[in-house]
Chains A and B, each alone.
Chain A
């Protein structure tokens, strides 16, 4: 049995909304193991985005404990969170979020620029990551010269380049046609087979069906957690 990589215990997230408060997560207990392929699903307002933000260390939690890759990250500083995001989590977004004036290669190099301590051979590593997504001959193209699918591949290469154990994808196929979306999902599946833990947040049941494990959220609680 692989070891747990994400352990959430009694996670609550409360947002102040004017005079009232909104409880987006009402006590989540969840364990994800290494090399899992998980889909987090739910309607908008179910709390799936908040859960993703907390797992991705973009947001802090109000209550509970979060253990990431053997480290307690429940209450750490902003800069420490940035450092862990940089090394342990690769992000993939619905709208790709590439820097528009930078080439594909520069985009892929970016996470390494923020890495401490600094590493050498960045160009080679970036090229290798582009090769893994099949875009080695597009390295000098700017995002606007690439198709949507190609842009998402560049984003995946960017997510891979620091060799994180986890990839967090937020609706990665949301802006793509179904065929290209399938390609991207195929790519993520093959990365998962190479040992990377993949977590996809989506409202699309088709994508959920392709994941090995589905976690469905409803009103800030886990409603369903099933594995194929």
Chain B
């Protein structure tokens, strides 16, 4: 142990004696490790941003929409034959143990009229579970509850865009009256802003009323029990694929689709959006890390080169050490410690510069970056590995010198 400590002290003083040369040699490692730290922090920041976006939509979500229809050889597109009904909801409740919460809705468009302003927006006839599934919180007031649903109440919850366009900004809107298709409604809450949905719509431009109210009082043409969109949450992320399978079986059964018949509905998951986005950042990151790794290898070769020079320059010293009793292992250790010290110090410098650079990038470009402790530990460990790998050959060469030749080296 003490030999290692002495070897380390000697390594430091030997490296310090040639400061400029040591610094230049370390540069390859500094740049390589620095680049990796920056790339990983940007990649993790991007992933986190995507994950946040997805969490904002709600977690572990699946949806079902009506599928295509075929009538006398004419195939309509998706939703051409609204096939989802309230009885499907009951079937899902009965047959899908992996599903935690179910929300269903009917969609339309509506012109909302307040005292002196009006605003056209999508309308959603929804149920209480919608808010919890999408983790959508309220800015003010409350969401639709079961009593509203049962009593077909004339209540509305407004998205922030609708609220801003109907009422003076900053004023409380709970309890205010609006009219939808000449039916009076009381505003019971406003939603917090969510920004854009993955398909580019403004999620906040919406009026939400109870499903029953929408079917019976607003959507004149709607078939009784018709559902446009079913949104469910699975108990966990792992259960999402299973929940999808259960839901397909439940819907096929509910729609009495024969064994070989085509589905008249589509079940999908929101993770599909996320996977695509994560994959593209991962590929980008992998490419950049590959480039950084090449710079690490080049840096390692630089270390090997300078260690070979050092061994040649200090051949005489090696001979003296051998004469007074250094064994092969002692000489090997001494030069390995030297190359490891050089690469680890380079790695630490690279890490510090990498962290600083990520901060600057965050600041200037506005990209989120995350420095994880793991990446620092891995970077340090990896630079140590480079020191061992590229330092081994020169150190072994030193340890194998013949003591007499080494002593008489000029």
Number of residues of chain A lying within 8 A (CB) of chain B:
25
Select A158's contact among B2, B317, B324, B328, beta carbons within 8 Å. Answer: B324
Q: Tell me if A46 is interfacial: C-beta within 8 Å of chain B.
A: no
- B317 A99 Cβ-Cβ under 8 A: yes
The 0/1 profile, CB within 8 Å of B marked 1, for residues 95-127 of chain A is: 001010110000000110111001000000000
Q: Which of A59, A79, A114 has the most CB of B within 10 A?
A: A114
Select B325's contact among A59, A87, A97, beta carbons within 8 Å. Answer: A87
Residue numbers in A under 8 Å from B326 (CB-CB): 82, 114
The 0/1 profile, CB within 8 Å of A marked 1, for residues 74-93 of chain B is: 00000000000000000000
- A110 B324 Cβ-Cβ under 8 A: yes
In Å, the complex CA distance between A93 and B319 comes to: 12
Q: Tell me if B56 is interfacial: C-beta within 8 Å of chain A.
A: no
Q: Tell me if A85 is interfacial: C-beta within 8 Å of chain B.
A: yes
Q: Tell me if A202 is interfacial: C-beta within 8 Å of chain B.
A: no
- A82 B6 Cβ-Cβ under 8 A: no
Asked, given contacts A58-B403, A59-B404, A118-B2, whether A110 binds B321 with beta carbons under 8 Å apart, the answer is yes
- B324 A86 Cβ-Cβ under 8 A: yes
The 0/1 profile, CB within 8 Å of B marked 1, for residues 51-86 of chain A is: 001001011000000000000000000110011011
Select B323's contact among A56, A78, A101, A102, beta carbons within 8 Å. Answer: A56
The 0/1 profile, CB within 8 Å of A marked 1, for residues 1-43 of chain B is: 0110010001001100100000000000000000000000000
- B323 A85 Cβ-Cβ under 8 A: yes
- B3 A53 Cβ-Cβ under 8 A: no
Residue numbers in A under 8 Å from B403 (CB-CB): 58
- B330 A114 Cβ-Cβ under 8 A: yes
Residue numbers in A under 8 Å from B404 (CB-CB): 53, 58-59
In Å, the complex CA distance between A91 and B325 comes to: 10
- B327 A93 Cβ-Cβ under 8 A: no
- A101 B324 Cβ-Cβ under 8 A: no
The 0/1 profile, CB within 8 Å of B marked 1, for residues 211-228 of chain A is: 000000000000000000
Residue numbers in A under 8 Å from B10 (CB-CB): 102
In Å, the complex CA distance between A94 and B316 comes to: 13
In Å, the complex CA distance between A79 and B13 comes to: 27
In Å, the complex CA distance between A113 and B1 comes to: 11
Q: Tell me if B322 is interfacial: C-beta within 8 Å of chain A.
A: yes
- B13 A85 Cβ-Cβ under 8 A: no
- Closest CB of chain A to B313's CB: distance in Å? 11
In Å, the complex CA distance between A196 and B396 comes to: 36
Residue numbers in A under 8 Å from B327 (CB-CB): 78-79, 82-83, 114
- B320 A111 Cβ-Cβ under 8 A: no
- A114 B14 Cβ-Cβ under 8 A: no
- Closest CB of chain A to B325's CB: distance in Å? 2
Q: Tell me if B203 is interfacial: C-beta within 8 Å of chain A.
A: no
Residue numbers in A under 8 Å from B6 (CB-CB): 113
In Å, the complex CA distance between A86 and B323 comes to: 8
- B325 A85 Cβ-Cβ under 8 A: yes
Residue numbers in B under 8 Å from A97 (CB-CB): 316, 319-320, 407
Residue numbers in B under 8 Å from A79 (CB-CB): 327-329
- B325 A86 Cβ-Cβ under 8 A: yes
Q: Which of B319, B328, B407 has the most CB of A within 10 A?
A: B407
Contact residues of A with B, CB < 8 Å?
53, 56, 58-59, 78-79, 82-83, 85-87, 91, 93, 97, 99, 101-102, 110-111, 113-115, 118, 158, 162
Since A79-B329, A113-B6 are in contact, a sample of 10 more A-B pairs with Cβ atoms closer than 8 Å, ordered by chain A residue number, is A58-B323, A83-B327, A85-B324, A86-B325, A97-B316, A102-B10, A102-B13, A111-B325, A114-B326, A162-B325
Please name the 9 residue pairs, one residue from A and one from B, whose CB atoms are nearest each other, closest first.
A86-B325, A114-B325, A111-B324, A97-B320, A82-B327, A79-B327, A58-B403, A91-B323, A114-B326
29 interchain pairs (CB within 8 A)?
A56-B323, A58-B404, A58-B407, A59-B404, A79-B327, A82-B326, A82-B328, A83-B325, A85-B323, A87-B325, A91-B323, A91-B324, A93-B320, A93-B407, A97-B316, A97-B319, A97-B407, A99-B317, A101-B13, A101-B17, A102-B13, A110-B324, A111-B324, A113-B3, A114-B321, A114-B325, A115-B325, A118-B2, A162-B325
